[in-house]
Structure 1
């Protein structure tokens, strides 16, 4: 039986990845996380979760020595761009040190595990229209601290592959959406505010930032399926974009959610919700991923957004739910 270890298993993509891997009876899934996060009650069967700080090299070495995984999906990260502007060094350290500890432990323990490292489309920065869609050969020119941390992760993985022969895959994930995503991100934030307005928990007013930005959105269920396929079929050392291959504006995302709302919601622009630097259009060239794995997205964008709104409608009915403030953070990650 193959053993798969997921870092950040209690986070957004981590939980969805665990659910996908558990669809197979020949995979033993375990995970590590800094805290319990969203929990894993939705999984079809229990998984062992270690609560640990991956910035602790000794803790990482002990974890890998004990679990001896065949596959490691490294998803743990500080993934919010606005938070990175507020704390650049904290984001860099939080994203780079854990990966370094994993790579170094693999070398020191001589473990033959395959490691999949998840970076981001933010490594590419603001790509001019004539160079779209963005291929893996595009220059790495991040325009925010989060993107810098992801470039470091990407290149650190490549360095350990070249210098130590670590079996590593470099994934550059574009925007993904789905249930249990933090409301720090645009689709979840819009859906949460609409659900609260429907329930009378907030005024029917939705404050927004830049609605003209276009992003490449993919359902998280399709994203984690791509991760699993790459783990099986990807070429060590190579980088792979994971996205839909289609750009959609934040305005369109908002319009879809407003069309699903049961109440009329007024939209207001708010200057404080704008980023210091914002790429106008982001869209992935996913031909390498498709050639390698045969993967293609299966869940329609509108269905993804419907699922997000249903999730928040259910969530706000839970005992102890605390409504968001009208000025809750909103940025189109």
Structure 2
């Protein structure tokens, strides 16, 4: 089976590629932005097919969909930093919304019928009152950041293209995931790096932290990508 992973060189994308390669049942194709960092996939690069594609470029997206004709698509390419979305809301909205729209339109125009997974986010829920805990899929979507708004729009676009055009789209809303290759701009990786540096006597035994009052759920990224794969496997 031909599997296309957009954003394959990212945190989750690289782990999803590893998952499928370990299964040994699929031919893996990846879409990456021109000149993007390939460090996360350097160890598997000779086992996957890579295509340079800016998801904001409709022609480029249609070109790779035409060439690959994937049977499954995992759309993971995105501007995925909440903090950055405040500094660059326009870039966040264009990348995440127009990028997904270009993918859907390419699938329609090429006239293929793949299963498509859209990676949403817990940021879609935004403001949650205590009475609503634990959060379920039925919770209201009240995003509180430009990133959250972009993911809600992706979510609703997926629903609309399913209802209007019959695209076989599965939407998930994963909470925070962590694990190997997580960027050090994120708390768990940053803390881990500081601990390692302290153990190696590279810094004073002080861990610098931010707001420790925040409460978050964390899942191992390897469990998350397995869940992504199973959502399409069990449709």
Q: Is TM (by shorter chain) over 0.5?
A: yes
| 1:117 to partner: Cα distance | 0.4
Distance 1:45 1:113 in 2: 25
Aligned to 1:11: 10
Contact conserved, 1:38 with 1:180, CA < 8 A, in 2?
no
Aligned to 2:182: 181
Local SS of the residue matching 2:158: helix
Q: 1:73 to 1:109 in 2, by over 3 A?
A: same
Give deviations 1:204-244, integer Å, cap 9, x for gaps: 3322222121111110010000001001114xxxxxxxxxx
Aligned to 1:250: none
Aligned to 2:64: 63
How does 1:202-213 map onto structure 2 within 5 Å? 202-213=203-214
Distance 2:193 2:200 in 1: 11
| 1:145 to partner: Cα distance | 1.1
Contact conserved, 1:80 with 1:184, CA < 8 A, in 2?
no
Distance 2:226 2:101 in 1: 25
Contact conserved, 2:4 with 2:31, CA < 8 A, in 1?
yes
| 1:44 to partner: Cα distance | 9.2
Say whether residues 1:73 and 2:74 are aligned partners. yes
More helix by share: 2
Larger Rg: 1
How does 1:105-184 map onto structure 2 within 5 Å? 105-184=106-185
Aligned to 1:231: 232
Contact conserved, 1:8 with 1:33, CA < 8 A, in 2?
yes
| 1:194 to partner: Cα distance | 1.9
TM superposition score normalised by structure 2: 0.95
Distance 1:44 1:106 in 2: 26
| 1:126 to partner: Cα distance | 2.2
Distance 1:80 1:56 in 2: 21
Q: 1:40 to 1:141 in 2, by over 3 A?
A: same
Distance 1:57 1:130 in 2: 43
Contact conserved, 2:11 with 2:40, CA < 8 A, in 1?
no
Local SS of the residue matching 1:215: coil
Local SS of the residue matching 1:136: coil
How many residue pairs get matched?
Answer: 233
Unaligned runs of 5+ in 1: 235-333
